[in-house]
Amino acid sequence: MPKPAAVLLPGTGSDEVFVRSVFAGPLGAFGIRTRTPAPPGGAAVTAGLLTSLDDAAADGPVLAGGISLGAHLAAEWAVRNPGRCAGLLLAMPAWCGRPDEAPASLAARASADLVDSQGLEEALRLATAGVAPWLAAELTRAWRRHGDGLAASLRVAAAHPAPTLDALAGLDVPVGIAACTDDPVHPAAVAHAWAEALPRAVVRETTLTALGADRESLGRAALLAWLQAGG
């Protein structure tokens, strides 16, 4: 049987370029076509990305997934559309249920405030000071592509609930989760909590250091975890 297409969604303030660099190679080597929709501008980001999954699944079930916010949205969509989801590839989930004071939510809100108060270019200068060069390059490209809608996009993402653990417990599809053990913004403990709640999930751990050297390391971890989970 032909393998389902994969639809991978970007994280907060990120873009489809980064998601594609993480997932397209590993999935392509396994014979899976990858679609990476661009994030809609501004406050439409979450609703627009969810709609992109609806559109992609019009012709049959898809393998859904994403990074950070993209992982949350893919899981949210799968909870509502279990018959249209062939499985999940989730990288670096950031919280369970309401974001409250989750580090990723706080960081997105702080970034939005910085953009509004300092302007995009100064916010970028401040946000990338002292961070790894690969991450600085990713932020610079993606934030500039978001343009005037960046702050609104960050705020909507920061406030958007992830699926609750109870909701995840009812989702009976194979799920591969990748976590970075050296990432305090997306704690590995959250990935393990998701996996414990899901009936058919495996976590594989990697690091941000590995991601900086090889973007596909994160995608491989999620794919191998999905295969272990029965994908």
pLDDT band at 93 (very low <50, low <70, confident <90, very high): very high
Q: Would you state the pLDDT for residue 1?
A: 60
Q: What is the DSSP letter of 95?
A: -
Sign of CA dihedral 47, 49, 55, 58: negative
Other CB atoms within 10 Å distance of the CB of residue 183: 20
What is the share, in percent, of the chain residues with pLDDT greater than 90?
A: 97
pTM of the model: 0.96
pLDDT band at 231 (very low <50, low <70, confident <90, very high): confident
Residue 209 clears pLDDT 80, i.e. is over it: yes
Residue 4 clears pLDDT 90, i.e. is over it: no
How far does Cα 206 stand from its chain's mean position?
15
Q: What is the mean pLDDT of residues 59-63?
A: 94
φ, ψ at 162 (rounded to 5°)? -85, 165
What is the share, in percent, of the chain residues with pLDDT greater than 70?
A: 99
